[in-house]
């Protein structure tokens, strides 16, 4: 909701006021203010709108997820680099149902910016492999599929990887 710089300024102001409360012997108020400041620091690193969008996506509510992502105006300045990666990742998932070229652009941008979890990176590469396979680019699809398999350490995408391998054999 707030710009990333405003979140840091609010956190610093609250911490300064907490220190003032400690000097005035209001220890309970100071501790409470320090806990509140951690919320702003957390939301600096994890954007609240992206978290809400993930929750909507988990409920299979694509319209709700898109609504939260659309609330982020100018993501290049409002988000830090990893958040921009997840912003593009979520947009790629949402448009992959309708527009493969746009989804490919979003997934490539997400991989370029970086995703913090290997599973998310594996899913992005798997989606790109599927798009490449649908566009008859077998070599690129096999390369991306191999990278996705290496990143999938918990075998959560094993079935999807095997299905895509079978489809690539038919091309």
The tens digit of pLDDT for each residue in 6-16 reads 999 999 999 99
**What number does CATH give the domain 47-170?**
1.25.40.10
Q: What confidence tier does 110 reach under pLDDT thresholds 50, 70, 90?
A: very high
pTM across the whole model: 0.85
- Percentage of residues in the chain with pLDDT exceeding 90? 75
Helix %, strand %, coil % for the chain, to 5? 80, 0, 20
Instruction: Provide the pLDDT confidence category of residue 1 given band limits of 50, 70 and 90.
Output: low
Q: What b-and-e string marks burial along 53-80, b requiring 16 or more CB atoms within 10 Å of the CB?
A: bbebbeeeeeeebbebbeebeebeebbe
Q: What does the domain layout of the chain look like in residue ranges? A: 1-45, 47-170
């Amino acid at each position: 909701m707030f710009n990333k710089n405003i979140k840091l300024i609010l956190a610093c102001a609250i911490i300064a006021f907490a220190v003032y409360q400690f000097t005035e012997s209001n220890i309970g108020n100071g501790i409470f203010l320090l806990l509140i400041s951690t919320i702003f620091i957390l939301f600096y690193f994890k954007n609240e709108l992206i978290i809400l969008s993930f929750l909507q996506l988990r409920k299979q509510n694509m319209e709700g997820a898109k609504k939260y992502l659309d609330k982020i105006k100018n993501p290049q300045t409002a988000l830090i680099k990893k958040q921009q990666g997840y912003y593009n990742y979520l947009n790629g998932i949402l448009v992959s149902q309708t527009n493969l070229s746009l989804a490919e652009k979003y997934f490539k941008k997400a991989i370029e910016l970086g995703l913090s979890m290997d599973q998310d990176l594996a899913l992005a590469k798997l989606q790109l492999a599927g798009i490449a396979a649908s566009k008859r680019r077998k070599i690129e699809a096999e390369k991306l599929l191999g990278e996705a398999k290496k990143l999938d350490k918990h075998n959560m995408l094993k079935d999807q990887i095997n299905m895509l391998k079978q489809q690539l054999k038919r091309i």
